[in-house]
Amino acid sequence: MPFQRLITVLLHLVIAGLLVAGPPSVSAETVPKPNIVFILADDLGYGDLECYGHPRAKTPVINQLAKDGVRFTQHYSNGTECSPTRTAFLTGRYQQRVKGLECAIGTGNVGRYDDAIEAAKANNLGLPASSTVIPGQLKRQGYTCAVYGKWHLGYESRFNPMVHGWDRFFGYLGGNVHYFNHRETSDLHVLYSGDQPADRDGYMTDLITNDSVAFIREQAGADKPFFLYVSHECPHFPFQGPKDREKIVTKENWMEADDETYVAMLQDLDTQVGRILTALDDCGITDNTVVVFASDNGGFAAAAHMGGLRGAKSTTYEGGIRVPLIIRWPGKIKSGIESHQPCMTFDLTRSFLEIAGVKLQGLRLDGDGIIQHIVKENNDYRRTLFWRGKRGDRTWTAVRDGDAKLVRKEEGSQTEEWLFDLKNDPTEQGGLDSDRDRIRLQAKLKAWETEMDGE
């Protein structure tokens, strides 16, 4: 066979082989990992958004976010207050596994129950960096990680976000600050940029968003994914809207609320979420970004709307722990979904790690992959979830197993206990008369507490 003809035949064979085999496979490594934006509101009640039934507040941006993704109706915060939920989020585990963080750290680094008081005396009240999986595990997968806003996981320098491995931090160390002078009621300076004290001029919600938007624009040109934790103060007290710079706020009226101011805060929060979403659009990265919006616990009783749920922040009634959750992931999560799957804050932790490609073996996470549950369109499943919050000599606990829920309040020598059927009584107005369910849930709660206290 002439050489030229041989070459032609071989070429045809190669081409035919490629056609049979199909196009070359794309390595998973060539598919860009999604960016993740987690927006956490502070003390946002279950009914504090228009799409969750607020009677006055207009929140069109967050409404649209829900229309573009999934809105959860049975999402719970891990804690009844701020620090516990944030602990659960960063560790991916029940916050009771870290001693001293079952209650919000008090203004000025004060412990509010026995373990926390002892930790504060030893200047050791806060979340150890060794306990966290976020951001460390995400950074190992190539993510650049930033947190802007409220920290509330320790005042001491060894608890600073930068020690936990964050690449960027701007915000305040405590539980709340004056929205304009950024100081606590004690006049303590807690505003930081990285690990250094900072001073900024402006409304706290704006400042948090400013840095978040700048980070998005900076990272959009980088050849690596990012994780952005937008930890808003709003709508936590003190109750100051964006036009209330001249409003006199003192220690005496720090927690006084009025509906007009509260609505203004909610609507401004919606505007700030809009700025973040616009930045994603402008940078052309919306389609490869997971956006999650949630709250750290139920609303403050004097101000928030709980959507008809009983109780408020600091209790384990539904109003204290059931909160909004909205997730948008274009191309992965269908638009306009409503999910009734019970879930908790630490489910987001596991989900973010899974999305980033983290190998979970050995991490001992307590949560489930809630985002993957939605992406795969799996059927809802039964779960058993636990809560406990301590403050002084008062302890609120709860366990939910399926639709049955046991709530217990212990204060001093007094103990009260209620049993509810959440399927038929989601507002917990009536008690469930079932000795069988009571005994079953009491046993589950006791076993869980034994595990937590034995850590």
The pLDDT tens digits of the residues spanning 174-199 come to 999 999 999 999 788 999 999 999 99
Could you read off the pLDDT of 383-403 as tens digits, one per residue? 999 999 999 999 999 999 999
DSSP state letter for 393: T
Q: Do 360 and 91 meet the contact criterion of CB atoms below 8 Å apart?
A: no
Indicate if the pLDDT at residue 168 is higher than 70: yes
Rounded-to-10 torsion of CA 319, 236, 47, 103 = -20
The pLDDT value given to residue 1: 47
Q: Do 144 and 222 meet the contact criterion of CB atoms below 8 Å apart?
A: yes
Mean pLDDT of 122-148: 97
Mean pLDDT of 155-159: 96
For residue 31, name the pLDDT band (cuts at 50, 70, 90): confident
The pLDDT value given to residue 11: 43
Q: Do 407 and 322 meet the contact criterion of CB atoms below 8 Å apart?
A: no
Q: Over pLDDT 90: what percentage of the chain?
A: 90
The pLDDT value given to residue 30: 63
Burial class (CB in 10 A: 0-12, 13-18, 19+), 199: exposed
Helices marked H in 141-258 = 204-220
Q: Do 238 and 255 meet the contact criterion of CB atoms below 8 Å apart?
A: yes
CATH 3.40.720.10 occupies which residues in the chain? 30-384
The pLDDT value given to residue 22: 44
The pLDDT value given to residue 334: 97
The pLDDT value given to residue 177: 97
Query: Taking phi first (over 0 means left), then psi (-120 to 50 degrees means alpha), and beta for anything else, what does residue 412 get?
Result: left
> Which residue pairs, CB below 8 angstroms and at least 24 apart, start in 250-255?
251/185, 254/185, 255/300, 255/302
For residue 47, name the pLDDT band (cuts at 50, 70, 90): very high
The pLDDT value given to residue 312: 98
Q: Do 55 and 49 meet the contact criterion of CB atoms below 8 Å apart?
A: no
Q: What is the CA radius of gyration of the chain?
A: 24
Q: With CA atoms as reference, report the closest residue to 112 among 149, 132, 121.
A: 121
Could you read off the pLDDT of 338-360 as tens digits, one per residue? 999 999 999 999 999 999 999 99
**Fold classified for 30-384:** Alkaline Phosphatase, subunit A (3.40.720)
Indicate if the pLDDT at residue 139 is higher than 90: yes
Mean pLDDT of 65-82: 98
The pLDDT value given to residue 18: 38
Indicate if the pLDDT at residue 6 is higher than 50: no
DSSP track, 95-152: GGGSTT-SSPPBTTTB--SHHHHHHHHTT--B--GGG--TTHHHHHTT-EEEEEEE--
Residues linked to residue 191 through DSSP beta bridges, in sequence order: 172
In this structure, the strands spanning 337-339 and 196-197 are unpaired
Mean pLDDT of 206-216: 98
Q: How far is CA 329 from the centre of its chain?
A: 16
Mean pLDDT of 231-240: 98
Range of weakest confidence among 23-37, 174-188, 206-220? 23-37
Could you read off the pLDDT of 96-114 as tens digits, one per residue? 999 999 999 999 999 999 9
**Gap between the terminal Cα atoms of the chain:** 79
Query: And the tokens for 202?
Result: 């402006």
DSSP track, 35-70: EEEEEEESS--TT-SGGGT-SS---HHHHHHHHTSE
Mean pLDDT of 36-60: 98
Indicate if the pLDDT at residue 61 is higher than 60: yes
Indicate if the pLDDT at residue 294 is higher than 50: yes
Rounded-to-10 torsion of CA 53, 238, 275, 208 = -140
Indicate if the pLDDT at residue 9 is higher than 70: no
Could you read off the pLDDT of 237-259 as tens digits, one per residue? 999 999 999 999 999 999 999 99
The pLDDT value given to residue 338: 98
Q: Do 257 and 302 meet the contact criterion of CB atoms below 8 Å apart?
A: yes
Residues contacting residue 159 through CB under 8 Å, at least 6 positions apart: 126, 127, 128, 129, 153
Indicate if the pLDDT at residue 143 is higher than 80: yes
Angstrom distance (rounded) from CA 124 to CA 120: 6
